[in-house]
């Protein structure tokens, strides 16, 4: 086939898919507040239960970052910048990106598997026959819970990551504890933190949207649910990295 | 009460429904029979709005259903083939799902327990989760959910699939009893002839996207249609039949 025609067909397909997903997201977000108890349940599932994995990721990342920056900085007598770089690096980049990726692995797969199973076992059809809009009952609480919780997770992850750097700085690199902490805050600007939290909100939406979209459109029994789960995690992870690049360019 | 006019639905080149016409009187129990893949489930899904038909009309109380689907659904209940209970909710919340929107939790639970009793499940089942139920119990719980809000229209999708003959007979008897008690209008799709004889006031045979034969249960055994006779008797036929065969 003509390569131009193939390219055009692929572009039209991509545009069509993007439009469908955008409409799906808008419909889900527009149904805010219809089922507060479901929203609370999803805040628990997506936010609270993700804290351990995000916290541990941030702790080890902050610690490793401190070692790397100290090692690299020593080459040009700049080892003292460890606290500031760890703080800025965690708040602006590593906190939101690694936190988002960990939530993607945990949450996008769970949402896609749950909704996909509901789709192939007719539970979503059953909702319709019970006069309940699946977008309002299933999709909206998950989108809003992720949108609201991931920035909080990122904020907590930032603090834990900085503490990870502090632990290594004080115990392995010979920094004074109080000086390390004061240097961490001294060079950190509020926009560093706010931009990371904004990234977290976008990443949360990407994670929940991937899980919901692939779950709600799953077909073909158990194999279809498996495909939906894989696709949701891949789409969420790639989406987070692409959005991170775009947002970093926009913010800085 | 419910009418289907010239309903057509195709998936690609495959025409699943090819001009289905059906009329259902208030309080009547219609059973749609037909071989696997003849479009029985698609017919139900089109009526429910879960699939969009390519052509044709569905009327409820003489007016297009599409314009009053919300009102229709408020008076509707359905038993799905595999019950389709919500895994994340205990049985009583499945049964009371619709009721919880309009009444206090305690009252909804009391009605749920009452409906579970109607289908032969004890109150101890109310707090179990669907995964803890056997296939027959899931069907019963699904039936309790279908009748929880006293619907005027009930659909039963393959109600005895996967059940042994004794449990299947019990479900058939329950369905017939509920339809008689409530005066609900019912459509059942099945290829189980014991269900047909237990549940139906009238039978419609769907074949290659059209209603090939319809009539009362008593007329079914005396009908001249060779496909219907083979279907009722469970006789094998060549898999690919030519037009009009």
Per-residue pLDDT tens digits for B184-218: 999 999 988 889 999 999 999 998 889 999 999 88
Query: Is B124 contained in some domain?
Result: yes
CB contact under 8 A, A131 and B98: yes
pTM above 0.80, yes or no: yes
Query: Is B152 contained in some domain?
Result: yes
The pLDDT of residue B241 is 52
B175 CB-near residues (< 8 Å, 6+ apart) = B79, B143, B156, B159, B186, B188, B195, B198, B199
Q: In a 10 Å sphere around its CB, with 0-12 CB exposed, 13-18 middle and 19+ buried, how is residue A206 labelled?
A: buried
B40-63 per-position pLDDT tens digit: 989 999 999 999 999 999 999 889
pLDDT confidence bin for B243, thresholds 50/70/90? very low
Interface membership of A37 toward B (CB under 8 Å) = no
pLDDT confidence bin for B245, thresholds 50/70/90? very low
Higher confidence at residue A8 or residue B35? A8
Taking CA–CA distances from A132, the nearest residue in chain B reads B98
Q: Which of residues 123-142 of A touch B (CB under 8 A)?
A: 123, 125-126, 128-132
The pLDDT of residue B239 is 61
Cβ neighbours of A175 (radius 10 Å): 22
The pLDDT of residue A125 is 94
Question: What per-residue string of b and e applies to B43-55 under the rule 16 or more CB within 10 Å gives b?
Answer: bbbbbbbebebee
The pLDDT of residue A49 is 95
Interface membership of A68 toward B (CB under 8 Å) = no
> What are the structural domain ranges in chain A?
34-251
Interface membership of B86 toward A (CB under 8 Å) = yes
Residue B99 pLDDT more than 70? yes
Residue B240 pLDDT more than 60? no
- Round the average pLDDT of chain A to a whole number and report it: 94
> Among all chains, which residue has been given the structure tokens 């995000």?
A54
Residue B8 pLDDT more than 80? yes
Query: Is B242 contained in some domain?
Result: no
Task: Give whole-number Cα distances, A46 to A36, A150, A154, in Å.
Answer: 15, 8, 13
Residue B73 pLDDT more than 50? yes
Q: How far is CA A234 from the centre of its chain?
A: 12
What is the residue-level pLDDT of chain A in tens, covering all 252 positions? Answer: 788 999 999 999 999 999 999 999 999 999 998 899 999 999 999 999 999 999 999 999 999 999 999 998 888 887 789 999 999 999 999 999 999 999 999 999 999 999 999 999 999 999 999 999 999 999 999 999 999 999 999 999 999 999 999 999 999 999 999 999 999 999 899 999 999 999 999 999 999 999 999 999 999 999 999 999 999 999 999 999 999 999 999 998
The pLDDT of residue A129 is 93
The pLDDT of residue B36 is 82
Distance from the Cα of B6 to chain A's closest Cα (Å) equals: 24
CB contact under 8 A, A128 and B73: yes
Query: Is B3 contained in some domain?
Result: no
The pLDDT of residue B87 is 93
Cα separation, B160 vs B156, in Å, equals 10
Query: Is B10 contained in some domain?
Result: no
B80-92 per-position pLDDT tens digit: 998 999 999 999 9
Query: Is B112 contained in some domain?
Result: yes
Q: Strand ranges (DSSP E) for B12-54?
A: 14-24, 29-33
Nearest to B74 among A114, A117, A131 (CB): A131
Query: Is B216 contained in some domain?
Result: yes
- Round the average pLDDT of chain B to a whole number and report it: 89
Q: What is the span of the domain harbouring residue B201? A: 27-49+69-233
* DSSP code string of chain A: --HHHHHHHHHHHHHHHHHHHHHHHHHHHHTTTS-HHHHHHHIIIIIGGGHHHHHHHHHHHHHHHHHHHHHHHGGGT-GGGHHHHHHHHIIIIIHHHHHHHHHIIIIIHHHHHHHHHHHHTTHHHHHHHTT--HIIIIIHHHHHHHHHHHHHHHHHHHHHHHHHHHHHHHHTS---HHHHHHHHHHT--HHHHHHHHHHHHHHHHHHHHHHHHHHHT--SHHHHHHHHHHHHHHHHHHHHHHHHHHHHHHH-
Residue B242 pLDDT more than 60? no
Q: In a 10 Å sphere around its CB, with 0-12 CB exposed, 13-18 middle and 19+ buried, how is residue A88 labelled?
A: buried
Distance from the Cα of A218 to chain B's closest Cα (Å) equals: 15
**Domain count across chain B:** 1
Query: Is B136 contained in some domain?
Result: yes
CB contact under 8 A, B84 and A132: no
């Amino acid at each position: 086939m003509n390569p131009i025609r193939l390219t055009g067909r692929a572009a039209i397909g991509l545009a069509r898919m993007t439009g469908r997903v955008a409409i799906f997201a808008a419909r889900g977000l527009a149904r805010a507040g219809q089922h507060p108890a479901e929203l609370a349940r999803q805040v628990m599932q997506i936010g609270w239960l993700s804290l351990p994995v995000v916290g541990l990721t941030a702790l080890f990342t902050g610690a490793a970052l401190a070692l790397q920056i100290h090692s690299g900085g020593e080459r040009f007598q700049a080892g003292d910048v460890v606290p500031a770089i760890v703080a800025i690096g965690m708040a602006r980049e590593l906190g939101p990106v690694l936190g988002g990726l960990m939530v993607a692995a945990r949450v996008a797969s769970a949402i896609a598997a749950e909704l996909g199973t509901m789709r192939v076992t007719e539970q979503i059809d059953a909702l319709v026959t019970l006069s309940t809009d699946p977008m309002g009952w299933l999709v909206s609480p998950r989108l809003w819970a992720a949108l609201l919780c991931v920035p909080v997770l990122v904020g907590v992850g930032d603090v834990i990551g900085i503490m990870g750097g502090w632990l290594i700085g004080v115990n392995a690199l010979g920094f004074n504890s109080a000086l390390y902490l004061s240097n961490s805050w001294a060079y950190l600007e509020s926009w560093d933190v706010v931009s990371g939290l904004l990234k977290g909100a976008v990443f949360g939406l990407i994670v929940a949207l991937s899980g919901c979209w692939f779950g709600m459109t799953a077909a073909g029994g158990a194999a279809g649910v498996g495909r939906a789960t894989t696709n949701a995690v891949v789409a969420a992870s790639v989406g987070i990295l692409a959005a991170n690049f775009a947002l970093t360019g926009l913010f800085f | 009460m419910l009418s289907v006019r010239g309903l057509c639905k195709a998936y690609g080149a495959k025409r699943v429904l090819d001009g289905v016409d059906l009329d259902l009187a208030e309080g009547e129990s219609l059973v749609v029979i037909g071989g696997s893949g003849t479009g029985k489930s698609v017919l139900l899904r089109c009526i429910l709005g879960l699939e969009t038909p390519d052509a044709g009309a569905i009327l409820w109380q003489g007016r297009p259903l599409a314009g009053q689907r919300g009102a229709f659904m408020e008076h509707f209940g359905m038993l799905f083939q595999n019950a389709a209970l919500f895994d994340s909710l205990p049985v009583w919340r499945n049964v009371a799902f619709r009721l919880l929107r309009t009444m206090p939790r305690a009252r909804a639970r009391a009605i749920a327990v009452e409906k579970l009793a109607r289908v032969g499940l004890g109150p101890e089942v109310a707090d179990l989760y669907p995964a803890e139920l056997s296939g027959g119990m899931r069907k019963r719980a699904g039936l309790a959910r279908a009748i929880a809000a006293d619907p005027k229209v009930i659909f039963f999708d393959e109600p005895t699939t996967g059940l042994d003959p004794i449990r299947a007979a019990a479900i058939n008897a329950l369905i017939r009893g509920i339809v008689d008690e409530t005066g609900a209008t019912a459509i059942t799709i099945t290829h189980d002839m014991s269900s047909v004889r237990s549940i139906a006031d009238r039978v419609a045979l769907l074949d290659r996207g059209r209603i090939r034969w319809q009539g009362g249960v008593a007329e079914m055994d005396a009908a001249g249609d060779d496909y219907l006779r083979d279907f009722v008797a469970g006789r094998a036929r060549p898999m690919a039949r030519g037009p009009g065969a």
